Amino acid sequence: MTTPSTTVSTVSPGAPGPITLHQQPAPRATGLALWVEAAGEAQTIARALVQSFFVPQAYKPNIPPRASQEEVNAALEVAIANATGAILLGQSLSTPSFEIDPLTALQNIYVVHGRPGMYAKFKVGLAQAHGHRVTDIEYGPESVTVEGQRKGTDQVVRVTITMDDAKRAGWATPTSQYSKVPADMLWARAASRVVDRIASDALFGIASLEELETDEPAASVAPARVTVEDVAARAAVAAAVEAVRQPDGEPDAAVEMIDERTWKLLNAEWVRLDVIGPGMKDRRLRGISTLVGHPVEAGSTLTAAEADVVLSTLQGLRPAEQRAHLERLCEILGEPVPDAPPAPAVDDVPPPSDEELAAAAERTAPAGEEPPGWGGLR
């Protein structure tokens, strides 16, 4: 971040000559204030993404069946908070040569048992982005060896993990991934250990997901219950963050807003999805509000980023072809899902008449023979 400066003019009394200009740094925000500002920006991005098809299920709102609006809002705030944390962690791990953008962070960083982790292959990518070498020496279902060398040194680290190691440690159980993709799991463990030793300053001890999922039993952690008080507290924090970002309460001029072309494309998608007729404006705005995570009273108030999320979500829906897409559309609109047309029951099909049965028998009777009667009735 470039430090802003202030130009100060000074003139020495009685000293003729040109004015001397001195560049003095302007007061800069503290590290914590910068972090709060970054958190606000990350939260805005997270709010726009958590209900899109571009993030994994782990970052989507966990809304229980027949949830009240209060529960829906609480689940949404939790999802936004989790996604915000992942985006911030991705930014803190970024380098000039390896920028972890929000979508990449959400695709690769997860929380397991209360600890952040990332896929081993992503850890290797970060180490290589810092210039460190990571090489596979052996790769197989019984044994994997990975070698690493720290940039600018002669230090070489070699780690071998065998299936016997995995069994002794309790990682390889009949239902674990070790029984399905053993070589991949052994590699993840070995590669993660190599990276921890040659690039600890780049990853700050963040474990791989493959390690977190097997090192701690899932039964030891109970799912968190979100209360109304929790949501209120988060809302207060969000308001404080927004106040830091816009202390005068005026819109941020740097935020790009929706343009006319995108708004026309949105309306075209609503028409394709048959959201038309009386009340369509309210239905569309309600759907947009669901997707961006906050009330929207007019389309002109959407940011460009929010509009892109809404447009991409609508373009991916094919409710006429897939019932799951119809259910998703109804969820977005806050409307009940129509019942699927029932298949005709066997009992609902009327039995054939005597004339139909006789005609069928006549068509199948051998030549020269009289077709049989039906139950003795002609």
pLDDT for residue 194: 93
pLDDT for residue 165: 93
**Mean of all residue pLDDT scores within the chain:** 76
pLDDT for residue 224: 43
Domain boundaries in the chain?
Answer: 31-220, 257-333
Summarised one tens digit per residue, pLDDT across range 158-187 is: 999 999 999 998 888 888 888 889 999 999
Region label for 222, one of left (φ > 0), alpha (ψ between -120 and 50) or beta (otherwise):
beta
Summarised one tens digit per residue, pLDDT across range 335-352 is: 888 876 555 454 555 666
Q: Distance between CA 156 and CA 18 in Å, rounded? A: 61
**DSSP states of 92-108:** HH-BTTB---HHHHHHH
**Backbone torsions φ then ψ of 118, nearest 5 degrees:** -145, 160
CB 146 within 8 A of CB 158: yes
Q: Assess whether pLDDT exceeds 50 at residue 3.
A: no
Q: Assess whether pLDDT exceeds 60 at residue 328.
A: yes
Q: 334: helix, coil or strand?
A: coil
CB 183 within 8 A of CB 166: no
pLDDT for residue 148: 95
Q: 184: helix, coil or strand?
A: helix
Summarised one tens digit per residue, pLDDT across range 228-273 is: 444 554 555 455 445 444 544 444 555 788 888 888 888 888 988 8
Question: What stretch of H or E contains 288?
Answer: helix 280-292
Mean per-residue pLDDT, 142-162: 93
32-46, 91-105, 186-200, 238-252: which has the highest mean pLDDT? 186-200
Q: Assess whether pLDDT exceeds 50 at residue 377.
A: no
pLDDT for residue 217: 44
Mean per-residue pLDDT, 79-107: 87
Percent of the chain, pLDDT > 90?
16
Q: Assess whether pLDDT exceeds 60 at residue 97.
A: yes
Q: What is the pTM of this model?
A: 0.48
Task: Spell out the alpha helix ranges (H) of 172-257.
Answer: 182-198, 200-203, 209-215, 228-245
Q: Distance between CA 10 and CA 4 in Å, rounded? A: 20
Question: Which of 267, 272, 303 is CA-nearest to residue 285?
Answer: 267
pLDDT band for 7, please (50, 70, 90 cuts). very low
What residue type is 50 in one-letter code? V
Strand partners, 161: 144
pLDDT band for 31, please (50, 70, 90 cuts). low
